[in-house]
Amino acid sequence: METAYGKADTFLTKFQVPASISRAVKGEQSSFATLNVDPWLVASLANMTIKRPTGIQKGCIPEILKGRDCIGGSKTGSGKTVAFTVPILQKWAHDPVGIYAVILTPTRELALQIFEQVKAISAPQSLKPILITGGADMRTQALALSQRPHMVIATPGRLADHIETSGEDTICGLRRVRFVVFDEADRLLAPGEGSMLPDIETCLSVLPPSTERQTCLFTATVTPEVRAIKELPRPKSRPPIFVCEVDTEDLAIPATLTQTYYLLNVVHKEKYLHVLLSTPANVKNSVIIFCNKRETATFLEHLLRSLEHRVTSLHGGLQHNDRVSNLARFRERAARILVATDVAARGLDIPSVDLVINYDLPRDPDDYIHRVGRTARAGRKGLSISLMGQRDVDLIHEIEARVGEQMRQFEEEGVNVEKRVQAALNSVADKQIKARMNIEEERTVTGKRRTGMKKLKMR
């Protein structure tokens, strides 16, 4: 009787599937050396304790080295950054000229992660990567861009700003790029409100045409917009786009996640939040609190800090250096609580989160899935609590229909949440007044007056 492995082997041989995909599908043991990766890169990866390629790396690295355009789909944490960085660095090392590659990614935090990983892998060489994201000084970035770095890691909006305003002397090096990478391609190509497509079109307007460069798209979720790239007309001189999907993410709730809600009077929402963060089961947990607006995140950070919670924040209203340092504080557990907008919902490398609280419910059920997916990762248990007012009932039902599971009312043995909220009414109300005054007076969460800070509208 033919085994499952034998059937897979027969299929792969019969349909002439590339060897790289064959290795990924069959899970064959291999090393980076067997993928034709140069020795200096193999050694550099080994120094980072990356010794065995993952499925997406086995599939994509050889084909990118052959010069093929690529769509790579694989779940979060599967090593997609290495899958495109290694072949780009190898080809650059053989011909280190000008701006060799542009990597576009949706958020500053993701851009910084890629930048740091590129620097680490390329350490044995003299690669000059630069980071082009919002929140940093435009003139400093323009100068760095004009000095012909080897690799540009950017968010589409800021790179588009430079293309439109910084002048030809600054951006001319982009016209000879050899590689363009779309990381988190599903988000970059998503249509609708807040779409990045106009900025991406601006970026592509100065980059070489697709026939004169290699293009790589990587994503955890292969959306119709990403898949449609494969169907675009191609010149006969170019091989078909290589597509490798290994353990792609179907947008779903982790099996080890417990989903709960708490029905409350929204007038006292902040009091409930404080109480839920302080229960015996939650008081030591690592927590992400999601809000829909940056103004809400700022207010909650001030409030929770005054209530003696170890808290930091992450949202688009922060300066770049603050976003970087705040995220580092949370990763290192210097802060127990991260108050964030949806910039923290996807892609970021945060090892362990015990609890996700939806202070504001997202309007899109898919955003809910991304948010609560920050906990219960890698088989660990996790808890989510969605704070629900009377007007949120329909939203909860939409979310439950999307995930195919009903939430249950949050309960903790031995804890009467309502009594605790009543006891906390006055103390929290006093701190709310203090938090609003600090924001109005443009003070930091530590109470120091901040200069040059934009006033945030009160909630």
The number of beta carbons lying within 10 Å of the beta carbon of residue 76 is 17
Exposed e or buried b for every residue in 268-300, given b needs 16+ CB within 10 A? bbbbbbbbbbeeeebeebbbbbbbbebbbbbbb
3-class secondary structure per residue, 322-389: HHHHHHHHHHCCCCCEEEECHHHCCCCCCCCCCEEEECCCCCCHHHHHHHHCCCCCCCCCEEEEEEEC
Q: Residue 272 is encoded by which pair of tokens?
A: 């409930």
DSSP 27: T
Strands across the sheet containing 101-104: 129-132, 151-154, 101-104, 179-183, 214-219, 70-74, 242-246
Q: Residue 205 is encoded by which pair of tokens?
A: 């307007």
Counted residue by residue, the chain has a size of: 459
222-256 pLDDT, tens digit per residue, is: 889 999 998 888 888 888 999 999 877 677 788 89
Amino acid (one-letter) located at 186: D
Q: Tell me what pLDDT residue 29 has.
A: 61
Q: Tell me what pLDDT residue 214 has.
A: 96
Q: Tell me what pLDDT residue 22 has.
A: 52
Q: Tell me what pLDDT residue 99 has.
A: 95
Are 4-246 and 257-440 in the same CATH fold? yes
Per-residue pLDDT of the chain (459 residues; tens, 9 = 90+): 444 444 445 444 444 455 555 555 454 568 999 999 999 999 999 999 999 999 999 999 999 999 999 999 988 778 899 999 999 999 999 999 899 999 999 999 999 999 999 999 999 999 999 999 998 899 999 999 999 899 999 999 999 999 999 999 999 999 999 999 999 999 999 998 889 999 999 999 999 999 999 999 999 888 899 999 988 888 888 889 999 998 776 777 888 999 999 999 999 999 999 999 999 999 999 999 999 999 999 999 999 999 999 999 999 888 888 988 999 999 999 999 999 999 888 877 787 899 999 999 999 998 999 899 899 887 889 999 999 999 999 999 999 999 999 999 999 999 999 999 999 999 999 999 999 999 999 888 877 876 654 444 443
Amino acid (one-letter) located at 303: L
Report, at the CATH architecture level, how domain 4-246 is classified: 3-Layer(aba) Sandwich (3.40)
Identify which of 199, 188, 101 has the alpha carbon closest to the alpha carbon of residue 153: 101
The number of beta carbons lying within 10 Å of the beta carbon of residue 7 is 10
Q: Tell me what pLDDT residue 221 has.
A: 84
Which residue has 């999907």 as its token pair?
Answer: 245
Residues 340/313, Cβ–Cβ less than 8 Å: yes
Contacts 24+ apart (CB under 8 A), 194-200: 196/106, 196/156, 196/157, 198/160, 199/156, 199/157, 199/159, 199/160, 200/104, 200/156, 200/160
Report, at the CATH architecture level, how domain 257-440 is classified: 3-Layer(aba) Sandwich (3.40)
From residue 202, alpha-carbon distances to 27, 205, 299 in Å are 40, 5, 35
CA–CA distance, 410 with 395 (Å, rounded to integer)? 17
Please give the model's pTM, rounded to 2 decimal places.
0.76
Q: Tell me what pLDDT residue 249 has.
A: 67
Domain ranges of the chain: 4-246, 257-440
Q: Tell me what pLDDT residue 8 has.
A: 46
347-377 pLDDT, tens digit per residue, is: 777 878 999 999 999 999 989 998 998 998 8
Helix axes 197-206, 156-165, angle to 10 degrees: 50
